[in-house]
Amino acid sequence: LLSADGTVAPTIFAEMSAAAARTGAINLGQGFPDEDGPAEVLEAARAAIASGANQYPPGRGLPDLLTAISEHQRRFYGLEVDPDTEVIVTAGATEALTATLLALIDGPDDEVVVFEPYYDSYAAAVALAGARLRTVPLRAPDFQPDLAQLAATVTDRTRLILVNDPHNPTGAVFGPEVLAEIVRLAELHDAVIVTDEVYEHLTFDGPHTPIATLPGAAERTLTISSAGKTFSATGWKIGWVHGPAALITAVLTVKQYLTYVNGSPFQPAVARGLRLDDAFFRDATTTLAHKHEILGDGLRAAGFVVHAPRGGYFTVADASALGGSDAAAFCRTLPERAGVVAIPLTAFVSAEHRADYAGLVRFAACKRTEVLEEAARRLASA
Ligand code: PMP
Ligand code: GLN
C-alpha cells in the first residue's frame, strides 16, 4: 500500500479528481453524481438533524434502518433478512467490505478470489487482512469470466469469493450461469461469498439478481450495498451488509473498532429512501441508461470503441484507435489536451495483467446530460 518512497500513494480517484480541479476539466473520472437525489430523502436528513438525531446511533445501526433494509430485500428480491441479527449498518460499502475481510480471514494462507479489473479498495482490503489475492480476469467485450478459469482458481484454500455485480469498472452484469457456478464452487470448497451490489438498482436489461437468491447461496453469502449510488448521496457513506447471523456477528466485532457507528441523521433518511415507491427506482435506472447512451454516442463520435454497460455508473471505451493504446498515458494528458478526466482500466488491475487492459478507459456517466454532451464535444475536437 506504500509507494517506493514510503509515502501513502493517493487513490486513483483522489489523483484524478485533483487533476480535474487543477485543470478545470470535466470530471468523468471519480464516480459521483453532479445532482442531488430525491428531495424526500434529503429532507428526512434535515428533519433528523432538527429533531436531535445527532449522537451515537446503536452499534448495529438505527433499528428503523435495519427494518427498512430487511423490507427492501423482501420487496425487491424475496430475501428474508432478520433485522435484529442478520444485518448491520456500516460506513458505506467500503467499510462493510473491509470489516468483512478483516473478520473472516484467518491467516496468510487464506485466499480471496476476486474478479479483475476490481474496485480499488478490494486489493487494498485483502492486503490489510493479510490474505492472498487470486484473480479471475474479465475480458472485453462482455467482461464475463471464463468458467473453467474460475473453477481452476477457486480451491480449498479459498476463504472468500468476492463478487461485484453490477461491476465497477466494466459495467458487466454477471449472467445466471456465472452466478450459479460461483455458488457451486463456494459450496464445493466451503468458501464464503461476499457480494458488493452497490449498483443493484442501476441495471439496464431488467432487474438485478442478488447472488444470495440462488439455491444454496444465502447460508454462505454476505451481501453488501450502500445508499450512495441508489440515492445519489455518495458522501453520506451509509452502507450495510446482511447474511447469516454468525457471519454478521463476526463482521460487527471488527466494525465496532473501525468506526463504532456512523452517520446518525443519515440513517433515518436512507430508511426513507429504501421505502420510496417503485417509480423512483425505475426512473433512476432509465435516467442513468439515457446518460450512458449520450456518453456512448459521444465517445463513438470521437473515435472510441465503446463497450456498452449493462449496469452501474461507468462506460468503458477502447482508445487504441485514437492513439490511446497506452490508456494510462492517454488519461494522464487528457485533462490538458481535451479538458476531460477519465480513468485507465489499468488502475483497477494487478501489475501482471496491466497489458490485457492497456487501451481501455473508464468514463463516469452519472453526470448531467449537458455535461456529458460538452465532454463529448471536447473529446471529438481534441
Ligand atoms: N464498491 C463499488 C463497486 C463501488 O463502485 C463503490 C463506490 N464507488 C464502493 C464499493 C464504495 O461504496 P461506498 O461509498 O458506499 O463506500
Ligand atoms: N466508487 C467511485 C468510483 O469508482 C468513487 C470511489 C472513490 O472515490 N473512492 O469512481
What band does 1 get if pLDDT is binned at 50, 70 and 90?
low
Q: Of 226, 249, 274, at which residue does a domain stop? A: 274
Is 93 touching ligand 1 by the criterion CB < 6 Å?
yes
Whether pLDDT at 151 is above 90: yes
- Radius of gyration for the alpha carbons in the chain, expressed in angstroms and rounded: 20
Distance spanning both ends of the chain, measured CA to CA: 35
CB 239 within 8 Å of CB 100: no
CA atoms of 60 and 126, how far apart (whole Å) = 24
pLDDT at residue 12, rounded to an integer: 83
Q: 68, 271 in Cβ contact below 8 A?
A: yes
Pocket test for ligand 1, best of 11, 13, 98, 168 (most atoms within 8 A of CB): 168
Ligand with smallest separation from the Cα of 365: 2
List the helix and strand counts (H, then E) for the chain. 13, 13
Instruction: Mark which of 274, 299, 330 sits at the end of a domain.
Output: 274
Give me ligand 2 centre to Cα 51, in Å.
32
**Shared domain check, 236 and 153:** yes
Query: Using CA positions, which residue lies closest to atom 8 of ligand 2?
Result: 13
Are 94 and 142 in a shared domain? Answer: yes
Confidence band for 14, pLDDT divided at 50, 70 and 90: confident
CA 379, CA 231: separation in Å to the nearest integer?
29
Q: Which of 173, 196, 223 to mutate to test the pocket of ligand 1 (most atoms within 8 A of CB)?
A: 196
What cell was used for 309?
454497460
Statement to judge: residues 173 and 45 lie in one domain: yes
Q: Closest ligand 1 atom, CA of 97?
A: 10
Residues 108 and 257 in one domain: yes
Is 74 among the domain residues?
yes
pLDDT-derived band at 382, boundaries 50, 70, 90: confident
Nearest ligand (C-alpha, residue 195)? 1
**pLDDT higher than threshold 80 for residue 129:** yes
Choose the weakest-confidence range: 3-12, 36-45, 101-110, 168-177.
Answer: 3-12
State if residue 11 touches ligand 2 by the CB under 6 angstroms criterion.
yes
Ligand 1: residue whose CA is nearest its atom 12: 93
Mutate to test the pocket of ligand 2, among 15, 28, 30, 118 (most ligand atoms within 8 A of CB): 30
Q: Which of 274, 307, 333 is the last residue of a domain?
A: 274
Per-position b or e across 7-35, b if 16+ CB within 10 A of its CB: eeeeebbebbbebbeebebbbbbbbbbee
Select from 234, 314, 315, 341 the residue to mutate for testing ligand 2; criterion: most ligand atoms less than 8 Å from CB. 234
- Kindly give the residue spans of alpha helices, DSSP state H, lying in the chain: 12-23, 39-50, 63-77, 92-104, 120-129, 147-153, 176-188, 227-230, 245-258, 266-274, 278-301, 327-338, 369-381
pLDDT digits (tens, 9 = 90+) for 346-356: 999 998 899 99
Q: What is the mean pLDDT of the chain?
A: 96
pLDDT of residue 183: 98
Q: Is 171 in the pocket of ligand 1 (CB under 6 A)?
A: no
* Joined grid coordinates for residue 362: 473508464
pLDDT for 311-332, tens place per residue? 999 999 999 999 989 999 999 9
Q: What is the pLDDT at residue 6?
A: 67
Distances (CA, A) of 367 to 295, 303, 343: 10, 21, 16
Which residues form the domain of 338? 12-30+279-381
pLDDT of residue 271: 98
The pLDDT assigned to 164 comes to 98
CATH number at residue 362: 3.90.1150.10
Looking at the fold, whether 186 and 259 belong to one and the same domain comes out as yes
Answer whether residue 337 is part of any domain.
yes
pLDDT digits (tens, 9 = 90+) for 197-232: 999 999 999 999 999 999 999 999 999 999 999 999
Closest Cα to atom 3 of ligand 1: 168
Cα–Cα distance measured from residue 295 to residue 52, given in angstroms and rounded to the nearest whole number: 43
Q: How many domains is the chain partitioned into structurally? A: 2
In which band, very low, low, confident or very high, does the pLDDT at 4 lie, cut at 50, 70 and 90?
Answer: low
- The rounded percent of the chain whose pLDDT value lies above 70 is 98
Task: Please tell me whether residues 135 and 250 are part of one structural domain.
Answer: yes
Give, using CA atoms, the residue closest to atom 4 of ligand 2. Answer: 31
* CA 357/CA 343 separation, integer angstroms: 12
268-281 average pLDDT score = 98
Q: Where on the phi/psi map is residue 296: left (φ > 0), alpha (ψ -120 to 50), or beta?
A: alpha
